[in-house]
Each structure stands twice: as structure tokens, then as C-alpha cells.
Amino acid sequence: MMKDGSVMDVDEITHHLGVELLGIVFDDDAVITTSNKGEPIVLQAENPAGQGYRDIARRLEGESVPLMEMKDEVHPSFWQKVTNWFKKG
């Protein structure tokens, strides 16, 4: 969606808000799933949302950490998963 200009990129967001960005946390169903189990998403080393939270914590501690690259889609949405399941069927 960023590529076609329908949503703002990081630079546009920070310019519009007039604040420094602490980090990027990707929308991921695993955040809710792990939270419901009492397992912090930050403990999942390979999860982009967990990495986003870890990076924010590091920045709050004063460390210089580059922002993660934003991609249009990190994980397929629930409906994309359902659609893909039926396509395989």
C-alpha cells in the first residue's frame, strides 16, 4: 500500500506528527496470541513485531538503533490465509 501512495511512509508520518519516531511495530496476530498465553512477543526472536518492541526499548535506553524497513505485508491477514487455504484445496 505504501508503494501506491495510499498510506504514508515513515518519513511522511514523522513529518506530519512533528515527533521523533521511537520505532515500528508491525501488525501481527501473534502479538494477541502470545499475549493471551502470557508469553511476551519480545521473546520470539524471529517475530518482526517482537523485534520492533525490542528496538523501541533499546532506543529508550539511549542506544542508537536503525529503524526496521517497512514492507507492505509482513504476514498474511486472516482472510488472506483463508483465501489461500481454499485456493490450495
- DSSP calls for 5-65: TSS--HHHHHHHHTS---------HHHHHHHHTT--GGG-TT-HHHHHHHHHHHHHTT---
Full-model pTM: 0.66
Domain edges within the chain: 10-88
For every one of its 89 residues, what pLDDT tens digit does the chain have, with 9 covering 90 and above? Answer: 445 566 788 888 888 888 888 998 888 899 999 999 999 999 999 999 999 999 999 999 999 999 888 765 555 666 777 777 777 65
